[in-house]
C-alpha cells in the first residue's frame, strides 16, 4: 500500500470473558474493572469509528507477551510479570488483530459475455462484408475517355483573423487584443488526500495510518491575449470547372490573366485539380456501360477501344474500379 504515516494512536478494546463486561481499555485496563478477570489479549478489537480513546505521546516498546505462569498480558519491556511476579523469559507474543484490508470492488464477469458477443458480431460483419464484396472477373472494352478540371481563383485582399498573441503573423495590421482564458493549470493547495487504515500495535494500542496520499490541486485559468487583426494575402474566392471527353484536357473559361500584380482586388490562377474517367462496356456488368474514376497513368494507358479485364461485384453487378485499375 506504499509508505504510511501514523495519524493517531488509540486504546484497543477487550471484553471480559468472566463477567462479560464489554469495551474495556486494552492498554490501561489489563484486568477487568468489575471482577478482576485477566485480559485475553488475543481477543482485542478495534473501537468503532469516532469512539476511539486517543493516547498522546505514546512510546512503542514492542508487542505484549503472555506471562508463562499466569497468562496475563505484559508489556514488552517488563522482565517480570506485574500480576504474579514470574520471569518473562521465553514468553509468547500476543496474536494481535489482523489489519482489515480495503475491499476491492468485485469485477463483474458480465464483460466476458459482451466480449464473446462482440467477437461474434465482428466475425459476422467480416464474413458478411466478404460475401457482399466478392467479385468475379469480366471482360470489357474502353469506349471513351472523360475528364473534369477544377481551377481555383485567388484574390489579393485583406483577411480578418483572430489568434493568440504568439501566433499573430509579423505582417499583421490593425491588431487589437483582449484578455481571454487560453487554458487551465493545476495549482497545489498544500493539502493531501490520503486513505486510512487501522493497525494493531499488539501492546494494547492501535494506530490510524495514512497511506497512498495524493496532493490536492485546484484548477486555475491561464489568461493570454487574443488578438484580432488584418493580414493582406492571396485567398481562394471561387472555382472554375470544365469537363469533356477525349484525351485533351482544357481549362475552364473565365480564368484571370496569367500576369498579375499584388494589388488589392487582383486575381490569379490558383490550384488545379484533374479527375480522369474511363467509360467502359463490360460483359456481365449491370448495366453493361459504366464509368470508373482512375489515375492519370491508367487513363493514359488504356486507349479507346482497348480490351480490359475488370472485377465486377457479385452483389450488384457494379465494376469495382479500385480493384480493376
Residues 144 and 92 in one domain: no
Range of the domain at 303: 135-148+275-324
What does each C-alpha distance from 3 to 6, 44, 110, 205, 214 come to in angstroms? 10, 26, 35, 21, 12
Residues 10 and 62 in one domain: yes
Whether 196 is covered by a domain: the verdict is no
Q: What percent of the chain has pLDDT over 70?
A: 94
Whether 126 is covered by a domain: the verdict is no
Residues 139 and 80 in one domain: no
pTM (2 decimals)? 0.57
DSSP 219-254: EEEEEEEEEEEEEEEEEEEEEEEEEEESS---PPSS
Residues 83 and 140 in one domain: no
Number of structural domains the chain divides into: 2
Low-confidence residues of the chain: pLDDT under 70: 1-2, 100-108, 126-133
pLDDT of residue 1: 39
What CATH number did the domain enclosing 302 receive?
2.40.50
What are the pLDDT digits (tens) for 154-178?
Answer: 999 999 999 999 999 999 999 999 9
Residues 10 and 71 in one domain: yes
DSSP 56-85: TT-------EE-TTT--EE-TT-SB-TTT-
Q: How many residues does the chain have?
A: 325
Whether 181 is covered by a domain: the verdict is no
Whether 235 is covered by a domain: the verdict is no
What are the pLDDT digits (tens) for 274-304?
Answer: 999 999 999 988 899 999 999 999 999 999 9
Whether 296 is covered by a domain: the verdict is yes
Amino acid at each position: 500500500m506504499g509508505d504510511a504515516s501514523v495519524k493517531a494512536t488509540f486504546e484497543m478494546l477487550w471484553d471480559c470473558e468472566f463477567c462479560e463486561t464489554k469495551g474495556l481499555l486494552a492498554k490501561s485496563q489489563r484486568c477487568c474493572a468489575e471482577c478482576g478477570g485477566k485480559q485475553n489479549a488475543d481477543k482485542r478489537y478495534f473501537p468503532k469509528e469516532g469512539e476511539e480513546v486517543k493516547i498522546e505521546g505514546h512510546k512503542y516498546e514492542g508487542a505484549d507477551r503472555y506471562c508463562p505462569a499466569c497468562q496475563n498480558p505484559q508489556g514488552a519491556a517488563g522482565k517480570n510479570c506485574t500480576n504474579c511476579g514470574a520471569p518473562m523469559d521465553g514468553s509468547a507474543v500476543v496474536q494481535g488483530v489482523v489489519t482489515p484490508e480495503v475491499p476491492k470492488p468485485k469485477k463483474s464477469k458480465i464483460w466476458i459475455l459482451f466480449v464473446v458477443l462482440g467477437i461474434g458480431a465482428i466475425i459476422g460483419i467480416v464474413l458478411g462484408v466478404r460475401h457482399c464484396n466478392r467479385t468475379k472477373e469480366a471482360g470489357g472494352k474502353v469506349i471513351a475517355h472523360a475528364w473534369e478540371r477544377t481551377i481555383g481563383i485567388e484574390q489579393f485582399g485583406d483577411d480578418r483573423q483572430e489568434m493568440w498573441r504568439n501566433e499573430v503573423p509579423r505582417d499583421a495590421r490593425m491588431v487589437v487584443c483582449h484578455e481571454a482564458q487560453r487554458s487551465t493549470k493545476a495549482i497545489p493547495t498544500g493539502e493531501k488526500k490520503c486513505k486510512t487504515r487501522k493497525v494493531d500495535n499488539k501492546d494494547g494500542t492501535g494506530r490510524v495510518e495514512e497511506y497512498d496520499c495524493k496532493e490536492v490541486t485546484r484548477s486555475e485559468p491561464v489568461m493570454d491575449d487574443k488578438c484580432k487583426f488584418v493580414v493582406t494575402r492571396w485567398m481562394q474566392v471561387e472555382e472554375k470547372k470544365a469537363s469533356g471527353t477525349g484525351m485533351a484536357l482544357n481549362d475552364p473559361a473565365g480564368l484571370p490573366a496569367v500576369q498579375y500584380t499584388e494589388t488589392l482586388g487582383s486575381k490569379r490562377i490558383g490550384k488545379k485539380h484533374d479527375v480522369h474517367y474511363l467509360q467502359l462496356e463490360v460483359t456481365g456488368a449491370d448495366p453493361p456501360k459504366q464509368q470508373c474514376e482512375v489515375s492519370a497513368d491508367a487513363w493514359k494507358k488504356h486507349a479507346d477501344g482497348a480490351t480490359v479485364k475488370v472485377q465486377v461485384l457479385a452483389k450488384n453487378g457494379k465494376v469495382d474500379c479500385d480493384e480493376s485499375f
